[in-house]
Structure 1
């Protein structure tokens, strides 16, 4: 009897030692959190819980296999409790197919094991070898919720695509404020951003933390989503940079220990962004601090930083990793990463992320900067696209065309984004400067898209209210959000854009762009209206002709010429109004 009791006691102890909670909806594209009871430790423990332990969980279902890095989670509820200690260790996993999944835990201990290349000789921890199964159903989400669409991933085209519903992605986003995460109600964050004007945009039932915290930033995301914006750009680290108010560590000048409660609160925000259809454009550093970690190389500090970001946030269905804002060396930023450093960091991040999320990099503004920084990256298969900054917004179309074509020739089709326009003091001005916003509509938004670009994000210049570092109210650019949505909505509704090519030479009007899939569809953008002629000499199909108003969106409009037959140059008639910009849409008749 005594032996039986001892056996039962041992089984019970083993169960407690290896127990885990599984939280989240067991559905495709939903986050499932596995929380294990492991070593009881704390953020500042001499045996570093972030660096000297390594949790990885392998998930398999048939031919599908993911090795997901885990992380230290303190008491498992740190977003609410602000805990810095505890025995909870967590992995977040998002399954891509239904059915029965199997998981198996690897848990190692040893100096710097979290970032080691060879892990064969490290001590196995108490969780190592634990395994189990769980069943996953289809998602029930609909509409803009990213869980209804699936993971956003690179393709062989110049566009990202949602893995679930196969929808191709055109970006229309907010680039400012870059220090979005400098929000005063995140733990360990300087008291800067409050976003008070967006508290009223918070809806009953939306997420909060610690009682009533988060209404300003959650409401702001609701507002952007309501305007049809689908992407938000922000830094996860600006130590020694412009804002000096965002970092994932326990202190601004710490490099090896992470603020568990702050990062858990970021996760609350990111999960809400999934729900309201906002892709998270995560920028990991900026030009002022690109050599802060490991002096620019990819060694222990940088590897640990990236591992923590990937472990805690890569599971989200809409993630873009941007390896650095304004990356490179220039006369006003003389201390920067070299070509070797840049490639090393890009390739490490690509290899680290188990889901294959997009990896991009942001440029300095001049064409010379582009040549110096971007050219050596051509054909690098770890880099999925370029996030361009340009000083002169009128260069948007030519810049997009140039680098789209260059990437094609290199054998690796990049996504080409325009994510910041100059001059830096202006960017996109507030709504009381409508003429400048009209120029942005013509020479940035439509210029990028009609050149086969993947979309734009809007930067707010530092000389104007609600700028890139002090923006508290996104309604200051309410009009630009509308015009951005009119463009992205047109592309999504009417164009098979992933199959189309820029071909401006087909149209006879100056200041016009043509984007086409010969034999199927043509889209022509006229900056100032007019009576365009389209060269269909090599295309004998018949097409319907309709007009779209990029200033107000809405339904297609029709003029006297409703159909044209190819085999020659054809007149499309006059735009509905002259001296305004218009889009002409030709679609093959059935």
Structure 2
């Protein structure tokens, strides 16, 4: 008997390739039917898990990472799905298709095809559960914004300013409970779901939005678990958790722009143990043949980012200037994914100024890391960007776009904290943030006799080529040039708030002094000009 799989059409590099098969719909196919496939090219074998998509439809998804002819063979405990074979030709990547983001040069990122990726994130936790009008508005906003990543939840979220009921649920609804906000997200609200089955339409909608993000160059940093829950999704049994993870990875791991964030604030979920989190990490990584980025996000206590399956540190802290220390501690890229939000709501984490947000972006950048934005300005519709998306109204976004342009024009390898070229000294103390840098980095040769109280500006770049210095809220009027001896550099003053760049000198060298109008939030860019 010949068994046939229907394919999506022409295959191309770094584009999701999908096979559809017809099988049984009776019983509980989500648990009763096993489906896998091996995709091969020469000696290369990539094994993927299939999933049930409802109405007797089964799917297998594959993300080609090499051009040429691939063949496949399925295996299943159902004869109609077993030993289905075929082959297809993978063509060159289409414009804008670069593959998944990978760790590069230990502390930075690149797409799989080698294209540079600059991680500039934002947060809109459940923008994908707000109905078509708001969701399309969010996509339009993102298309014009500087962000290359959005942190978003798989499950609905229950919290203040986010009490509307979603249009759909990930599991079949058995009994509807209360949606009234009581100030707590751990209460019993009376909801009941059939956690033994999934609602494919829920996940189809999620996939649709993730694919639309890919079209505008935005990565989907998917939060798999979170504690802000009135429905019971955060307190499923271990067996239900494991099935959910396997179903999620089977559906989404072939989407190129997916990142796995195991949790938002894992340490606020008392029903999960540290052993659970370790198991979850292994289930996701073992069932993702395409090796997407994976992290665990904290509220209070850091997860151990030294875990070998964790690819980068996802951190909640306001002190972005500590990034260089976390880089050294964990040996991985650092993404400050919550540094508080620009806004005006009553919660302490939701009312920092735009200037503070921009400063935290610059602090994280010149300490060798990456920072994620969020916005929480109150409005009568309670449509806050951080929860529901929509439109951005804050002042930080334009300044973040300005920073992004500077980074795009800068070092292709990314920015690393300066250790051995000598930092940039001034005639005043630089504040606590710079003292932290002084404790971490050693002065250049010949500068060991600097007074111990002499602070340094945080500096990042690539040695002997490019240095970016940030002076934060201080307002010096001069800067002593401390580039490596015998080298000449251009010097450009950057006003990070007013978004201006002023060339101060075409050529300076070590020992020269630069003078300028004192004001806060200045940076200095040095580019080598003598080879």
TM-score grouping bracket, smaller chain normalisation? 0.7 to 0.9
Task: Tell me the residue number matched to 2:255.
Answer: 316
After superposition, the C-alpha distances for 1:346-385 in whole angstroms (9 at most, x for unaligned) are: 2221222111101011111xxxx33xx43xx243110112
After superposition, the C-alpha distances for 1:461-510 in whole angstroms (9 at most, x for unaligned) are: 77996436764532323x32222222222112212343622459712242
**Is the 2:68–2:89 Cα contact (8 Å) retained in structure 1?**
yes
Deviation of residue 578 (structure 1)? 2.7
Deviation of residue 234 (structure 1)? 1.2
Task: Please give the alpha-carbon distance, in whole angstroms, between the structure 2 residues aligned to 1:292 and 1:63.
Answer: 45
Q: Does 1:234 align with 2:234?
A: no
**Is the 1:228–1:481 Cα contact (8 Å) retained in structure 2?**
yes
Distance 1:132 1:344, change over 3 A: same
Task: Please give the alpha-carbon distance, in whole angstroms, between the structure 2 residues aligned to 1:215 and 1:461.
Answer: 20
1:532 counterpart SS class: strand
Q: Does 1:574 align with 2:515?
A: yes
Task: Please give the alpha-carbon distance, in whole angstroms, between the structure 2 residues aligned to 1:254 and 1:181.
Answer: 22
2:57 pairs, out of 77, 85, 88, with 88
Unaligned runs of 5+ in 1: 1-13, 75-85, 109-123, 185-213, 430-434
Q: Does 1:491 align with 2:407?
A: yes
1:301 pairs, out of 240, 260, 264, with 240
Distance 1:30 1:341, change over 3 A: same
**Is the 1:151–1:317 Cα contact (8 Å) retained in structure 2?**
yes
1:476 counterpart SS class: coil
Moved more, 450-459 or 48-57: 450-459
Task: Tell me the residue number matched to 1:105.
Answer: 74
1:250 pairs, out of 153, 163, 172, with 172
After superposition, the C-alpha distances for 1:539-572 in whole angstroms (9 at most, x for unaligned) are: 4322222233423547x5312x221234xx443x
Deviation of residue 582 (structure 1)? 2.5
Task: Tell me the residue number matched to 1:415.
Answer: 334
Task: Please give the alpha-carbon distance, in whole angstroms, between the structure 1 residues aligned to 2:221 and 2:346.
Answer: 20
Deviation of residue 337 (structure 1)? 3.0
Report 1:55-94 matches (<5 A): 55-74=35-54, 86-94=55-63
1:521 pairs, out of 438, 444, 466, with 466
Task: Please give the alpha-carbon distance, in whole angstroms, between the structure 2 residues aligned to 1:302 and 1:239.
Answer: 17
Task: Tell me the residue number matched to 1:563.
Answer: 507
After superposition, the C-alpha distances for 1:513-539 in whole angstroms (9 at most, x for unaligned) are: 211322121111122453222433x54
1:105 counterpart SS class: strand
Task: Please give the alpha-carbon distance, in whole angstroms, between the structure 1 residues aligned to 2:347 and 2:243.
Answer: 35
1:380 pairs, out of 285, 296, 307, with 307
Distance 1:130 1:472, change over 3 A: closer
**Is the 1:287–1:336 Cα contact (8 Å) retained in structure 2?**
no
Task: Tell me the residue number matched to 1:397.
Answer: 321
**Is the 1:296–1:341 Cα contact (8 Å) retained in structure 2?**
no
Distance 1:506 1:215, change over 3 A: same
**Is the 2:20–2:57 Cα contact (8 Å) retained in structure 1?**
yes
Q: Does 1:508 align with 2:425?
A: yes
Q: Does 1:169 align with 2:123?
A: no
Deviation of residue 274 (structure 1)? 0.7
Distance 1:291 1:339, change over 3 A: farther
Task: Please give the alpha-carbon distance, in whole angstroms, between the structure 2 residues aligned to 1:487 and 1:160.
Answer: 17
Task: Tell me the residue number matched to 2:278.
Answer: 343
Deviation of residue 293 (structure 1)? 6.7
Deviation of residue 309 (structure 1)? 1.4
Task: Tell me the residue number matched to 1:118.
Answer: none
Distance 1:25 1:570, change over 3 A: farther
Moved more, 479-488 or 92-101: 479-488
Task: Please give the alpha-carbon distance, in whole angstroms, between the structure 2 residues aligned to 1:344 and 1:156.
Answer: 28
Deviation of residue 53 (structure 1)? 1.2
Task: Please give the alpha-carbon distance, in whole angstroms, between the structure 2 residues aligned to 1:321 and 1:343.
Answer: 14
CA RMSD of aligned residues (A): 3.0
Task: Please give the alpha-carbon distance, in whole angstroms, between the structure 2 residues aligned to 1:448 and 1:497.
Answer: 16
Q: TM-score, normalised by structure 2?
A: 0.81
**Is the 1:525–1:582 Cα contact (8 Å) retained in structure 2?**
yes
Task: Tell me the residue number matched to 1:547.
Answer: 493
1:34 pairs, out of 19, 25, 34, with 19
Task: Please give the alpha-carbon distance, in whole angstroms, between the structure 2 residues aligned to 1:229 and 1:529.
Answer: 29
**Is the 1:466–1:476 Cα contact (8 Å) retained in structure 2?**
no
Distance 1:470 1:414, change over 3 A: closer
Deviation of residue 420 (structure 1)? 4.0
**Is the 1:323–1:346 Cα contact (8 Å) retained in structure 2?**
yes
Q: Does 1:225 align with 2:143?
A: yes
1:380 counterpart SS class: coil
Task: Tell me the residue number matched to 2:373.
Answer: 457
Task: Please give the alpha-carbon distance, in whole angstroms, between the structure 1 residues aligned to 2:229 and 2:316.
Answer: 18
Q: Does 1:160 align with 2:82?
A: no
Structure having the larger proportion of residues in helix: 1
Moved more, 483-492 or 354-363: 483-492
Distance 1:295 1:425, change over 3 A: closer
**Is the 1:222–1:276 Cα contact (8 Å) retained in structure 2?**
no
Task: Please give the alpha-carbon distance, in whole angstroms, between the structure 2 residues aligned to 1:31 and 1:341.
Answer: 30
1:50 counterpart SS class: helix
1:281 pairs, out of 215, 218, 221, with 221
**Is the 2:210–2:257 Cα contact (8 Å) retained in structure 1?**
no
Distance 1:32 1:126, change over 3 A: same
2:84 pairs, out of 121, 125, 130, with 130
Deviation of residue 137 (structure 1)? 0.8
**Is the 2:357–2:373 Cα contact (8 Å) retained in structure 1?**
no
Deviation of residue 98 (structure 1)? 0.8
